[in-house]
Structure 1
Amino acid sequence: MPASTPDRETDQTAALTIAARPELTGGRRIGVLLSHGFTGSPASMRPWGEHLGALGYGVAVPLLPGHGTTWQELNTLRWVDWYAALTRAFDTLRAEHDAVVVGGLSMGGALVLRLAADRPDEVAGVMVVNPAVATRRLDVKLLPVLKHLVPSFPAIANDIKKPGVDENGYDRTPLKAIHSLIQAWPSLRADLSRITSPLVYFRSADDHVVDDASEPLVLGGISSTDVTRVALPESFHVATLDNDAPTIFEESAAFVARVSAA
Protein backbone atom coordinates (compact mmCIF):
# COMPACT_ATOMS: atom_id res chain seq x y z
CA MET A 1 0.00 0.00 0.00
CA PRO A 2 1.20 3.59 -0.64
CA ALA A 3 2.90 5.23 2.34
CA SER A 4 0.93 8.04 3.91
CA THR A 5 0.80 10.26 6.95
CA PRO A 6 -0.05 8.30 10.13
CA ASP A 7 -3.13 10.36 10.91
CA ARG A 8 -4.86 10.06 7.56
CA GLU A 9 -7.24 7.36 8.85
CA THR A 10 -8.20 9.20 12.04
CA ASP A 11 -8.59 12.83 11.01
CA GLN A 12 -10.25 13.60 7.70
CA THR A 13 -9.29 17.28 7.97
CA ALA A 14 -5.57 16.51 8.33
CA ALA A 15 -3.09 17.00 5.53
CA LEU A 16 -2.62 13.99 3.27
CA THR A 17 0.71 12.74 1.96
CA ILE A 18 1.18 9.61 -0.15
CA ALA A 19 4.61 8.48 -1.33
CA ALA A 20 5.25 7.96 -5.02
CA ARG A 21 5.60 4.42 -6.33
CA PRO A 22 7.63 4.80 -9.52
CA GLU A 23 7.35 1.08 -10.22
CA LEU A 24 3.71 1.83 -11.11
CA THR A 25 4.45 4.91 -13.20
CA GLY A 26 7.05 3.76 -15.68
CA GLY A 27 10.00 4.31 -13.37
CA ARG A 28 9.38 8.06 -13.07
CA ARG A 29 8.37 9.76 -9.83
CA ILE A 30 5.26 11.82 -10.56
CA GLY A 31 3.82 14.19 -7.96
CA VAL A 32 0.30 15.58 -7.66
CA LEU A 33 -0.51 18.59 -5.47
CA LEU A 34 -4.19 19.07 -4.60
CA SER A 35 -5.67 22.09 -2.82
CA HIS A 36 -8.98 22.25 -0.97
CA GLY A 37 -11.26 25.28 -1.03
CA PHE A 38 -12.12 28.21 1.22
CA THR A 39 -13.52 27.15 4.64
CA GLY A 40 -13.07 23.52 3.54
CA SER A 41 -10.44 20.95 4.41
CA PRO A 42 -8.38 18.12 2.90
CA ALA A 43 -11.43 15.91 3.48
CA SER A 44 -12.87 17.27 0.22
CA MET A 45 -9.76 16.14 -1.69
CA ARG A 46 -8.89 12.96 0.20
CA PRO A 47 -10.75 10.43 -2.00
CA TRP A 48 -9.31 12.05 -5.13
CA GLY A 49 -5.81 12.03 -3.67
CA GLU A 50 -6.12 8.44 -2.51
CA HIS A 51 -7.29 7.35 -5.96
CA LEU A 52 -4.24 8.92 -7.60
CA GLY A 53 -1.97 7.60 -4.85
CA ALA A 54 -3.15 4.06 -5.49
CA LEU A 55 -1.97 4.48 -9.09
CA GLY A 56 1.56 5.25 -7.91
CA TYR A 57 1.56 9.04 -7.90
CA GLY A 58 3.10 10.94 -5.00
CA VAL A 59 0.24 13.00 -3.57
CA ALA A 60 0.21 16.02 -1.27
CA VAL A 61 -2.97 17.66 0.04
CA PRO A 62 -1.87 20.38 2.49
CA LEU A 63 -4.13 21.81 5.16
CA LEU A 64 -4.22 25.50 4.31
CA PRO A 65 -3.59 27.97 7.18
CA GLY A 66 -6.67 28.79 9.23
CA HIS A 67 -8.52 25.69 8.08
CA GLY A 68 -9.25 22.63 10.16
CA THR A 69 -9.45 24.77 13.31
CA THR A 70 -12.06 27.54 13.62
CA TRP A 71 -13.53 30.10 11.27
CA GLN A 72 -12.40 32.78 13.71
CA GLU A 73 -8.79 31.76 13.16
CA LEU A 74 -9.33 31.71 9.41
CA ASN A 75 -10.53 35.30 9.67
CA THR A 76 -7.00 36.30 10.75
CA LEU A 77 -5.40 34.75 7.64
CA ARG A 78 -5.18 36.03 4.09
CA TRP A 79 -4.58 34.92 0.48
CA VAL A 80 -0.83 35.42 0.87
CA ASP A 81 -0.80 32.88 3.71
CA TRP A 82 -2.70 30.22 1.73
CA TYR A 83 -0.60 30.75 -1.37
CA ALA A 84 2.65 30.58 0.61
CA ALA A 85 1.59 27.24 2.11
CA LEU A 86 0.70 25.84 -1.29
CA THR A 87 3.96 27.06 -2.79
CA ARG A 88 5.96 25.36 -0.03
CA ALA A 89 4.14 22.09 -0.69
CA PHE A 90 4.81 22.45 -4.42
CA ASP A 91 8.51 23.10 -3.87
CA THR A 92 8.76 19.97 -1.74
CA LEU A 93 7.12 17.88 -4.44
CA ARG A 94 9.30 19.38 -7.17
CA ALA A 95 12.43 18.48 -5.24
CA GLU A 96 11.35 14.85 -4.91
CA HIS A 97 9.62 14.12 -8.24
CA ASP A 98 10.38 14.21 -11.94
CA ALA A 99 7.18 16.13 -12.73
CA VAL A 100 4.35 17.68 -10.73
CA VAL A 101 0.71 18.21 -11.68
CA VAL A 102 -1.43 20.59 -9.59
CA GLY A 103 -5.16 20.56 -8.93
CA GLY A 104 -7.66 22.45 -6.84
CA LEU A 105 -11.30 22.91 -5.90
CA SER A 106 -12.92 26.36 -5.77
CA MET A 107 -10.40 28.68 -4.03
CA GLY A 108 -7.95 25.81 -4.39
CA GLY A 109 -8.49 26.10 -8.13
CA ALA A 110 -7.61 29.79 -7.98
CA LEU A 111 -4.49 28.99 -5.96
CA VAL A 112 -3.18 26.41 -8.45
CA LEU A 113 -3.96 28.74 -11.36
CA ARG A 114 -1.86 31.38 -9.60
CA LEU A 115 0.91 28.81 -9.18
CA ALA A 116 0.73 27.80 -12.84
CA ALA A 117 0.93 31.45 -13.88
CA ASP A 118 3.93 32.09 -11.62
CA ARG A 119 5.79 28.84 -12.43
CA PRO A 120 4.79 27.93 -16.00
CA ASP A 121 7.97 25.97 -16.65
CA GLU A 122 7.59 23.85 -13.52
CA VAL A 123 3.90 22.86 -13.58
CA ALA A 124 3.32 19.83 -15.80
CA GLY A 125 -0.45 20.20 -15.83
CA VAL A 126 -3.38 21.92 -14.10
CA MET A 127 -6.66 20.37 -12.92
CA VAL A 128 -9.40 22.65 -11.60
CA VAL A 129 -12.83 21.82 -10.22
CA ASN A 130 -15.29 24.73 -10.14
CA PRO A 131 -12.49 27.29 -9.66
CA ALA A 132 -13.36 30.74 -8.32
CA VAL A 133 -11.77 33.78 -9.97
CA ALA A 134 -14.84 36.05 -10.19
CA THR A 135 -18.47 36.35 -9.11
CA ARG A 136 -21.67 38.00 -10.25
CA ARG A 137 -22.83 38.56 -6.66
CA LEU A 138 -23.34 42.24 -5.97
CA ASP A 139 -23.08 42.00 -2.20
CA VAL A 140 -19.31 41.45 -2.43
CA LYS A 141 -19.00 45.15 -3.21
CA LEU A 142 -20.06 45.79 0.39
CA LEU A 143 -17.36 43.58 1.91
CA PRO A 144 -14.86 46.43 2.51
CA VAL A 145 -17.38 47.88 4.96
CA LEU A 146 -19.26 44.78 6.12
CA LYS A 147 -16.11 42.96 7.22
CA HIS A 148 -15.60 45.61 9.90
CA LEU A 149 -19.21 45.42 11.10
CA VAL A 150 -19.93 41.67 11.16
CA PRO A 151 -17.35 38.88 11.39
CA SER A 152 -19.08 36.26 9.26
CA PHE A 153 -21.91 35.21 6.98
CA PRO A 154 -23.69 31.84 6.71
CA ALA A 155 -21.63 28.89 5.55
CA ILE A 156 -20.77 28.07 1.94
CA ALA A 157 -19.54 24.57 2.80
CA ASN A 158 -21.23 21.27 1.94
CA ASP A 159 -22.85 22.23 -1.35
CA ILE A 160 -23.12 18.54 -2.27
CA LYS A 161 -25.97 16.84 -4.13
CA LYS A 162 -25.15 13.35 -2.89
CA PRO A 163 -26.93 12.66 0.44
CA GLY A 164 -25.01 12.04 3.63
CA VAL A 165 -21.67 13.53 2.56
CA ASP A 166 -19.71 16.07 4.63
CA GLU A 167 -16.65 18.02 3.48
CA ASN A 168 -15.77 18.94 7.08
CA GLY A 169 -15.92 22.68 6.43
CA TYR A 170 -16.82 25.61 8.66
CA ASP A 171 -20.38 26.56 9.59
CA ARG A 172 -19.64 30.26 8.98
CA THR A 173 -17.91 32.27 6.23
CA PRO A 174 -15.39 34.76 7.71
CA LEU A 175 -15.66 38.07 5.88
CA LYS A 176 -12.16 39.49 6.28
CA ALA A 177 -10.69 36.28 4.93
CA ILE A 178 -13.03 35.96 1.96
CA HIS A 179 -12.49 39.61 1.09
CA SER A 180 -8.78 38.84 0.84
CA LEU A 181 -9.58 36.06 -1.60
CA ILE A 182 -11.69 38.35 -3.75
CA GLN A 183 -9.00 41.04 -3.70
CA ALA A 184 -6.56 38.51 -5.19
CA TRP A 185 -8.78 37.81 -8.19
CA PRO A 186 -7.98 40.84 -10.43
CA SER A 187 -4.23 40.22 -10.50
CA LEU A 188 -4.81 36.50 -11.07
CA ARG A 189 -7.13 37.18 -13.99
CA ALA A 190 -4.57 39.58 -15.45
CA ASP A 191 -1.91 36.86 -15.32
CA LEU A 192 -3.93 33.93 -16.67
CA SER A 193 -2.32 34.42 -20.06
CA ARG A 194 0.97 33.25 -18.51
CA ILE A 195 -0.49 29.76 -18.06
CA THR A 196 0.85 27.51 -20.81
CA SER A 197 0.52 24.14 -19.05
CA PRO A 198 -2.15 21.65 -20.19
CA LEU A 199 -5.40 22.18 -18.29
CA VAL A 200 -8.49 20.12 -17.54
CA TYR A 201 -11.52 22.07 -16.30
CA PHE A 202 -14.23 20.20 -14.39
CA ARG A 203 -17.53 22.07 -14.12
CA SER A 204 -20.66 21.18 -12.19
CA ALA A 205 -23.99 21.78 -13.88
CA ASP A 206 -25.55 23.14 -10.68
CA ASP A 207 -23.13 25.07 -8.47
CA HIS A 208 -24.56 27.16 -5.61
CA VAL A 209 -21.19 28.63 -4.55
CA VAL A 210 -19.27 29.57 -7.72
CA ASP A 211 -21.46 31.07 -10.44
CA ASP A 212 -20.82 31.09 -14.19
CA ALA A 213 -18.61 34.20 -14.18
CA SER A 214 -15.34 32.33 -13.68
CA GLU A 215 -15.41 29.74 -16.46
CA PRO A 216 -15.15 32.01 -19.53
CA LEU A 217 -12.45 34.08 -17.83
CA VAL A 218 -10.29 31.03 -17.17
CA LEU A 219 -10.86 29.17 -20.42
CA GLY A 220 -10.61 32.35 -22.46
CA GLY A 221 -7.72 33.82 -20.51
CA ILE A 222 -5.05 31.14 -20.46
CA SER A 223 -2.54 30.70 -23.25
CA SER A 224 -2.44 26.91 -23.17
CA THR A 225 -3.56 25.19 -26.35
CA ASP A 226 -4.14 21.93 -24.49
CA VAL A 227 -7.45 22.52 -22.72
CA THR A 228 -10.20 20.03 -21.90
CA ARG A 229 -13.57 20.79 -20.31
CA VAL A 230 -15.36 17.98 -18.49
CA ALA A 231 -19.03 18.44 -17.52
CA LEU A 232 -20.27 17.16 -14.17
CA PRO A 233 -24.05 16.88 -14.65
CA GLU A 234 -24.93 15.26 -11.31
CA SER A 235 -22.89 17.33 -8.87
CA PHE A 236 -23.07 20.56 -6.91
CA HIS A 237 -20.03 22.66 -5.95
CA VAL A 238 -18.00 20.11 -3.97
CA ALA A 239 -17.92 17.75 -6.93
CA THR A 240 -14.89 15.87 -5.61
CA LEU A 241 -17.22 14.26 -3.04
CA ASP A 242 -20.36 14.22 -5.17
CA ASN A 243 -22.01 11.91 -7.69
CA ASP A 244 -19.53 12.75 -10.45
CA ALA A 245 -16.42 12.13 -8.34
CA PRO A 246 -15.59 8.93 -10.28
CA THR A 247 -15.49 11.00 -13.47
CA ILE A 248 -13.04 13.42 -11.88
CA PHE A 249 -10.87 10.57 -10.63
CA GLU A 250 -10.77 8.71 -13.94
CA GLU A 251 -10.31 11.75 -16.17
CA SER A 252 -7.64 13.23 -13.93
CA ALA A 253 -5.71 9.96 -13.77
CA ALA A 254 -5.59 9.84 -17.56
CA PHE A 255 -4.63 13.52 -17.66
CA VAL A 256 -1.77 13.11 -15.18
CA ALA A 257 -0.43 10.09 -17.06
CA ARG A 258 -0.50 11.99 -20.35
CA VAL A 259 1.02 15.32 -19.28
CA SER A 260 3.72 13.79 -17.10
CA ALA A 261 5.02 11.38 -19.73
CA ALA A 262 8.74 11.69 -20.40
Structure 2
Amino acid sequence: MKSLTQSIFLEGGGHAVLLLHGLSSSPLEMRYLGRFLRDEGFTVCAPVLNGYSAGTGGETMEHWLDAATSEFDALAARFDRVSICGLSMGAALALALAHRRPQAQAVVLLSLTLAYNGWAIPWYRFLLGWAYYTPMRSRWQYRESEPYGLRNEALRAKIARSMQRSNFSEVGPSTIALPALHEASRLASLVRSQIRGIRNDCLVIHAIDDETSSPRTAQSAALALGSTFLRTIYLDDSYHMITSDNEREIVARETASFLRESEAASGSGEPRSPVVSKALARRLRQLAAIGKDDA
Protein backbone atom coordinates (compact mmCIF):
# COMPACT_ATOMS: atom_id res chain seq x y z
CA MET A 1 0.00 0.00 0.00
CA LYS A 2 2.84 2.39 0.77
CA SER A 3 3.99 2.67 -2.85
CA LEU A 4 0.44 3.36 -3.95
CA THR A 5 -0.03 6.28 -1.58
CA GLN A 6 3.06 8.35 -2.25
CA SER A 7 2.59 11.99 -3.15
CA ILE A 8 3.53 13.19 -6.61
CA PHE A 9 5.43 16.46 -7.06
CA LEU A 10 6.67 17.51 -10.49
CA GLU A 11 8.23 20.96 -10.68
CA GLY A 12 7.76 23.09 -13.76
CA GLY A 13 6.84 26.75 -14.13
CA GLY A 14 5.30 29.38 -11.90
CA HIS A 15 1.72 28.15 -12.25
CA ALA A 16 1.20 25.25 -9.84
CA VAL A 17 -1.71 22.82 -10.02
CA LEU A 18 -2.93 20.98 -6.92
CA LEU A 19 -4.40 17.61 -7.98
CA LEU A 20 -6.89 15.99 -5.59
CA HIS A 21 -7.68 12.31 -6.16
CA GLY A 22 -10.91 10.47 -5.38
CA LEU A 23 -12.21 9.19 -2.06
CA SER A 24 -10.01 6.64 -0.25
CA SER A 25 -7.78 6.41 -3.33
CA SER A 26 -4.30 7.63 -4.23
CA PRO A 27 -2.39 10.14 -6.37
CA LEU A 28 -1.92 7.37 -8.96
CA GLU A 29 -5.33 8.36 -10.34
CA MET A 30 -3.80 11.69 -11.34
CA ARG A 31 -0.43 10.46 -12.57
CA TYR A 32 -1.07 10.71 -16.32
CA LEU A 33 -2.67 14.13 -16.01
CA GLY A 34 0.13 15.33 -13.75
CA ARG A 35 2.85 14.27 -16.16
CA PHE A 36 1.04 15.90 -19.07
CA LEU A 37 0.67 19.19 -17.18
CA ARG A 38 4.34 19.12 -16.16
CA ASP A 39 5.31 18.65 -19.80
CA GLU A 40 3.13 21.67 -20.62
CA GLY A 41 5.11 23.80 -18.18
CA PHE A 42 3.02 23.59 -15.00
CA THR A 43 4.22 22.57 -11.57
CA VAL A 44 2.15 19.67 -10.28
CA CYS A 45 1.41 18.47 -6.75
CA ALA A 46 -0.81 15.41 -6.14
CA PRO A 47 -0.58 14.93 -2.38
CA VAL A 48 -1.50 12.18 0.02
CA LEU A 49 -4.07 13.68 2.40
CA ASN A 50 -4.08 12.16 5.86
CA GLY A 51 -7.46 10.65 6.68
CA TYR A 52 -8.67 10.92 3.07
CA SER A 53 -6.16 8.98 0.99
CA ALA A 54 -5.91 5.19 1.01
CA GLY A 55 -4.04 3.68 3.92
CA THR A 56 -4.07 6.85 6.05
CA GLY A 57 -6.90 6.05 8.45
CA GLY A 58 -10.24 7.80 8.65
CA GLU A 59 -10.86 11.44 9.50
CA THR A 60 -13.71 13.92 9.18
CA MET A 61 -14.27 15.94 6.05
CA GLU A 62 -13.16 19.05 7.99
CA HIS A 63 -9.79 17.33 8.42
CA TRP A 64 -9.69 16.56 4.69
CA LEU A 65 -10.31 20.23 3.88
CA ASP A 66 -7.70 21.39 6.38
CA ALA A 67 -5.14 19.03 4.83
CA ALA A 68 -5.94 20.24 1.30
CA THR A 69 -5.72 23.86 2.47
CA SER A 70 -2.26 23.24 3.91
CA GLU A 71 -1.12 21.83 0.57
CA PHE A 72 -2.57 24.82 -1.28
CA ASP A 73 -0.93 27.31 1.07
CA ALA A 74 2.45 25.59 0.71
CA LEU A 75 2.21 25.95 -3.07
CA ALA A 76 0.97 29.54 -2.86
CA ALA A 77 4.04 30.44 -0.79
CA ARG A 78 6.33 29.26 -3.62
CA PHE A 79 4.52 29.84 -6.89
CA ASP A 80 2.90 32.84 -8.58
CA ARG A 81 -0.40 31.11 -9.28
CA VAL A 82 -2.11 28.01 -7.90
CA SER A 83 -5.04 26.22 -9.52
CA ILE A 84 -7.01 23.30 -8.09
CA CYS A 85 -8.07 20.18 -9.97
CA GLY A 86 -10.10 17.36 -8.43
CA LEU A 87 -11.41 14.00 -9.59
CA SER A 88 -14.70 12.50 -8.36
CA MET A 89 -15.07 13.32 -4.64
CA GLY A 90 -11.75 15.14 -5.04
CA ALA A 91 -13.64 17.60 -7.28
CA ALA A 92 -16.06 18.29 -4.43
CA LEU A 93 -13.06 18.83 -2.18
CA ALA A 94 -11.61 21.19 -4.81
CA LEU A 95 -14.78 23.31 -4.70
CA ALA A 96 -14.73 23.48 -0.89
CA LEU A 97 -11.07 24.51 -1.06
CA ALA A 98 -11.80 27.18 -3.69
CA HIS A 99 -14.48 28.61 -1.41
CA ARG A 100 -11.93 28.77 1.41
CA ARG A 101 -9.15 30.08 -0.85
CA PRO A 102 -10.85 32.26 -3.48
CA GLN A 103 -7.45 33.47 -4.70
CA ALA A 104 -7.03 30.18 -6.55
CA GLN A 105 -6.42 30.91 -10.22
CA ALA A 106 -8.85 28.30 -11.56
CA VAL A 107 -10.73 25.16 -10.59
CA VAL A 108 -11.02 22.02 -12.73
CA LEU A 109 -13.80 19.57 -11.88
CA LEU A 110 -13.37 16.08 -13.31
CA SER A 111 -16.28 13.66 -12.82
CA LEU A 112 -17.65 15.87 -10.05
CA THR A 113 -19.41 13.75 -7.43
CA LEU A 114 -21.93 15.40 -5.14
CA ALA A 115 -24.13 12.30 -5.04
CA TYR A 116 -23.67 8.66 -5.99
CA ASN A 117 -26.41 8.65 -8.60
CA GLY A 118 -24.90 7.04 -11.70
CA TRP A 119 -26.46 4.14 -13.58
CA ALA A 120 -24.29 1.48 -11.88
CA ILE A 121 -24.98 2.52 -8.28
CA PRO A 122 -27.01 -0.21 -6.51
CA TRP A 123 -30.60 0.52 -5.54
CA TYR A 124 -29.86 0.15 -1.83
CA ARG A 125 -27.34 3.01 -1.83
CA PHE A 126 -29.86 5.33 -0.15
CA LEU A 127 -29.87 3.07 2.92
CA LEU A 128 -26.25 3.82 3.75
CA GLY A 129 -27.09 7.10 5.45
CA TRP A 130 -29.24 5.15 7.87
CA ALA A 131 -26.72 2.31 8.24
CA TYR A 132 -24.05 4.73 9.47
CA TYR A 133 -26.00 5.13 12.72
CA THR A 134 -26.20 1.39 13.38
CA PRO A 135 -23.58 -1.20 14.46
CA MET A 136 -22.91 -1.72 10.74
CA ARG A 137 -20.91 1.51 10.80
CA SER A 138 -17.63 -0.17 11.70
CA ARG A 139 -18.14 -3.36 9.66
CA TRP A 140 -19.82 -2.54 6.36
CA GLN A 141 -17.83 -1.54 3.30
CA TYR A 142 -19.00 -0.58 -0.16
CA ARG A 143 -17.40 -2.95 -2.68
CA GLU A 144 -16.44 -1.66 -6.10
CA SER A 145 -17.43 -3.83 -9.05
CA GLU A 146 -17.26 -3.73 -12.81
CA PRO A 147 -16.93 -1.55 -14.77
CA TYR A 148 -14.59 0.09 -12.17
CA GLY A 149 -15.19 3.46 -13.78
CA LEU A 150 -13.66 2.32 -17.07
CA ARG A 151 -15.16 1.96 -20.52
CA ASN A 152 -11.86 0.62 -21.86
CA GLU A 153 -12.32 -3.14 -21.58
CA ALA A 154 -8.62 -4.05 -21.67
CA LEU A 155 -7.80 -1.64 -18.86
CA ARG A 156 -10.88 -2.79 -16.95
CA ALA A 157 -9.64 -6.39 -17.05
CA LYS A 158 -6.23 -5.27 -15.81
CA ILE A 159 -7.81 -3.39 -12.93
CA ALA A 160 -9.99 -6.39 -12.02
CA ARG A 161 -6.87 -8.56 -11.72
CA SER A 162 -5.16 -5.92 -9.61
CA MET A 163 -8.18 -5.69 -7.30
CA GLN A 164 -8.11 -9.45 -6.77
CA ARG A 165 -4.42 -9.44 -5.89
CA SER A 166 -4.18 -6.45 -3.57
CA ASN A 167 -7.63 -4.92 -3.02
CA PHE A 168 -6.28 -1.77 -4.62
CA SER A 169 -5.45 -0.46 -8.08
CA GLU A 170 -4.32 2.63 -9.91
CA VAL A 171 -7.98 3.73 -10.22
CA GLY A 172 -8.80 3.26 -6.56
CA PRO A 173 -9.64 0.79 -3.80
CA SER A 174 -11.81 -2.31 -4.03
CA THR A 175 -13.80 -1.21 -0.98
CA ILE A 176 -14.71 2.07 0.74
CA ALA A 177 -15.58 2.16 4.43
CA LEU A 178 -18.98 3.43 5.51
CA PRO A 179 -17.54 6.27 7.69
CA ALA A 180 -15.66 7.60 4.64
CA LEU A 181 -18.86 7.58 2.59
CA HIS A 182 -20.66 9.38 5.41
CA GLU A 183 -18.01 12.12 5.49
CA ALA A 184 -18.15 12.36 1.71
CA SER A 185 -21.89 12.99 1.97
CA ARG A 186 -21.24 15.73 4.51
CA LEU A 187 -18.66 17.31 2.19
CA ALA A 188 -21.10 17.23 -0.72
CA SER A 189 -23.73 18.96 1.42
CA LEU A 190 -21.24 21.67 2.34
CA VAL A 191 -20.33 22.24 -1.30
CA ARG A 192 -23.96 22.50 -2.38
CA SER A 193 -24.44 25.25 0.20
CA GLN A 194 -21.35 27.16 -1.00
CA ILE A 195 -21.30 26.68 -4.75
CA ARG A 196 -23.07 29.89 -5.76
CA GLY A 197 -20.37 31.87 -3.99
CA ILE A 198 -17.52 30.26 -5.95
CA ARG A 199 -16.41 32.63 -8.71
CA ASN A 200 -13.08 31.20 -9.83
CA ASP A 201 -12.54 30.35 -13.48
CA CYS A 202 -13.89 26.83 -13.79
CA LEU A 203 -13.60 23.90 -16.18
CA VAL A 204 -16.10 21.05 -15.84
CA ILE A 205 -15.41 17.75 -17.64
CA HIS A 206 -17.83 14.87 -17.21
CA ALA A 207 -18.65 11.66 -19.08
CA ILE A 208 -22.18 11.41 -20.43
CA ASP A 209 -22.16 7.71 -19.46
CA ASP A 210 -20.60 8.18 -16.00
CA GLU A 211 -21.79 5.18 -13.99
CA THR A 212 -20.99 6.71 -10.58
CA SER A 213 -22.03 10.35 -10.82
CA SER A 214 -24.81 11.31 -13.21
CA PRO A 215 -23.98 14.00 -15.78
CA ARG A 216 -26.89 15.91 -14.29
CA THR A 217 -24.57 16.60 -11.34
CA ALA A 218 -22.12 18.41 -13.61
CA GLN A 219 -24.92 20.21 -15.40
CA SER A 220 -26.46 21.45 -12.14
CA ALA A 221 -23.09 22.54 -10.76
CA ALA A 222 -22.27 24.48 -13.91
CA LEU A 223 -25.57 26.33 -13.66
CA ALA A 224 -25.04 27.12 -9.97
CA LEU A 225 -21.42 28.30 -10.07
CA GLY A 226 -20.79 32.03 -9.93
CA SER A 227 -17.87 31.79 -12.39
CA THR A 228 -17.67 34.35 -15.18
CA PHE A 229 -15.29 32.11 -17.16
CA LEU A 230 -16.80 28.65 -17.29
CA ARG A 231 -16.20 25.83 -19.77
CA THR A 232 -18.21 22.61 -19.74
CA ILE A 233 -17.15 19.54 -21.72
CA TYR A 234 -19.03 16.25 -21.92
CA LEU A 235 -17.20 13.11 -23.04
CA ASP A 236 -18.86 10.29 -24.94
CA ASP A 237 -16.30 7.46 -24.78
CA SER A 238 -15.50 7.22 -21.05
CA TYR A 239 -17.02 6.25 -17.74
CA HIS A 240 -16.22 7.78 -14.34
CA MET A 241 -12.41 7.51 -14.27
CA ILE A 242 -11.77 10.00 -17.03
CA THR A 243 -8.12 10.53 -16.07
CA SER A 244 -7.43 6.89 -16.98
CA ASP A 245 -10.07 5.93 -19.53
CA ASN A 246 -10.29 6.23 -23.33
CA GLU A 247 -10.34 10.03 -23.40
CA ARG A 248 -7.63 10.77 -20.86
CA GLU A 249 -5.62 12.64 -23.50
CA ILE A 250 -8.58 14.93 -24.21
CA VAL A 251 -8.99 15.53 -20.47
CA ALA A 252 -5.33 16.41 -20.08
CA ARG A 253 -5.19 18.61 -23.17
CA GLU A 254 -8.37 20.51 -22.32
CA THR A 255 -7.19 21.01 -18.73
CA ALA A 256 -3.84 22.44 -19.82
CA SER A 257 -5.50 24.67 -22.43
CA PHE A 258 -8.05 26.02 -19.95
CA LEU A 259 -5.41 26.79 -17.33
CA ARG A 260 -3.33 28.68 -19.88
CA GLU A 261 -6.38 30.66 -21.03
CA SER A 262 -7.32 31.46 -17.44
CA GLU A 263 -3.83 32.71 -16.69
CA ALA A 264 -3.59 34.74 -19.88
CA ALA A 265 -7.00 36.34 -19.46
CA SER A 266 -6.77 37.10 -15.75
CA GLY A 267 -4.80 40.29 -16.32
CA SER A 268 -6.52 41.45 -19.50
CA GLY A 269 -9.71 42.76 -17.93
CA GLU A 270 -11.71 41.52 -20.91
CA PRO A 271 -15.14 39.95 -20.25
CA ARG A 272 -15.26 36.19 -20.68
CA SER A 273 -18.37 34.27 -21.56
CA PRO A 274 -19.30 30.74 -20.48
CA VAL A 275 -18.43 28.11 -23.09
CA VAL A 276 -20.06 24.74 -23.66
CA SER A 277 -18.30 22.23 -25.90
CA LYS A 278 -20.20 21.92 -29.19
CA ALA A 279 -18.38 18.80 -30.34
CA LEU A 280 -20.80 16.61 -28.45
CA ALA A 281 -24.06 18.29 -29.37
CA ARG A 282 -25.75 14.99 -30.10
CA ARG A 283 -24.94 13.63 -26.65
CA LEU A 284 -26.00 16.85 -24.98
CA ARG A 285 -29.40 16.48 -26.61
CA GLN A 286 -29.56 13.00 -25.09
CA LEU A 287 -28.69 14.51 -21.70
CA ALA A 288 -31.51 17.02 -22.05
CA ALA A 289 -33.88 14.19 -22.88
CA ILE A 290 -32.80 12.33 -19.74
CA GLY A 291 -33.56 15.42 -17.67
CA LYS A 292 -37.05 15.67 -19.17
CA ASP A 293 -37.73 12.02 -18.41
CA ASP A 294 -36.76 12.51 -14.76
CA ALA A 295 -38.74 15.72 -14.33
TM-score normalised by the chain length of structure 1:
0.84
Q: Is the 8 A contact 1:156 1:172 kept in 2?
A: no
SS at match of 1:96: coil
Given the superposition, is the C-alpha separation of residues 205 and 189 from structure 1 closer, same or farther in structure 2, using an over 3 Å criterion? Answer: same
Aligned twin of 1:118: 100
Residue 133 of structure 1 aligns with an amino acid whose one-letter code is L
**Cα distance between partner residues in 2 of 1:214 and 1:52:** 26
Pick one of 31, 35, 47 that aligns with 1:46: 31
Number of aligned positions between the proteins:
242
What's the CA shift string for 1:194-221, capped at 9, x where partnerless? 1111111001122122124522331121
**Cα distance between partner residues in 2 of 1:77 and 1:124:** 28
Given the superposition, is the C-alpha separation of residues 208 and 175 from structure 1 closer, same or farther in structure 2, using an over 3 Å criterion? Answer: same
Aligned twin of 1:95: 77
Alpha-carbon offset, residue 116 of structure 1: 1.2
Given the superposition, is the C-alpha separation of residues 213 and 54 from structure 1 closer, same or farther in structure 2, using an over 3 Å criterion? Answer: same
Larger radius of gyration, structure 1 or 2? 2
Matched, 1:169 2:151: no
Alpha-carbon offset, residue 130 of structure 1: 0.8
Unaligned runs of 5+ in 1: 1-9, 22-28
Aligned twin of 1:155: 144
Alpha-carbon offset, residue 38 of structure 1: 0.7
Map 1:16-95 to 2 at 5 A: 16-21=8-13, 29-66=14-51, 69-70=54-55, 74=57, 76-95=58-77
Identical-residue share of aligned pairs (%): 26
**Cα distance between partner residues in 2 of 1:141 and 1:175:** 9
Unaligned runs of 5+ in 2: 118-124, 160-169, 268-295
**Cα distance between partner residues in 2 of 1:150 and 1:11:** 26
Q: Is the 8 A contact 2:116 2:212 kept in 1?
A: no
Residue 188 of structure 1 aligns with an amino acid whose one-letter code is V
Cα RMSD for the two superposed structures: 2.2
SS at match of 2:28: helix
SS at match of 1:210: coil
Given the superposition, is the C-alpha separation of residues 152 and 52 from structure 1 closer, same or farther in structure 2, using an over 3 Å criterion? Answer: same
Aligned twin of 1:107: 89
Aligned twin of 1:24: none
Alpha-carbon offset, residue 36 of structure 1: 0.3
Alpha-carbon offset, residue 101 of structure 1: 1.1
Map 1:135-214 to 2 at 5 A: 135-136=116-117, 137-146=125-134, 147-148=136-137, 150-155=139-144, 158-162=148-152, 163-164=154-155, 166=159, 167-214=170-217
**Cα distance between partner residues in 2 of 1:171 and 1:78:** 21
Q: Is the 8 A contact 1:14 1:68 kept in 2?
A: no
Residue 19 of structure 2 aligns with an amino acid whose one-letter code is L
What's the CA shift string for 1:166-205, capped at 9, x where partnerless? 4252221100111011022222111111111111100112
Given the superposition, is the C-alpha separation of residues 194 and 215 from structure 1 closer, same or farther in structure 2, using an over 3 Å criterion? Answer: same
Q: Is the 8 A contact 1:135 1:214 kept in 2?
A: no
Aligned twin of 1:6: none
- The worse-fitting range, judged by mean Cα deviation, of 166-175 and 245-254 is 166-175
Residue 221 of structure 1 aligns with an amino acid whose one-letter code is A
SS at match of 1:241: coil
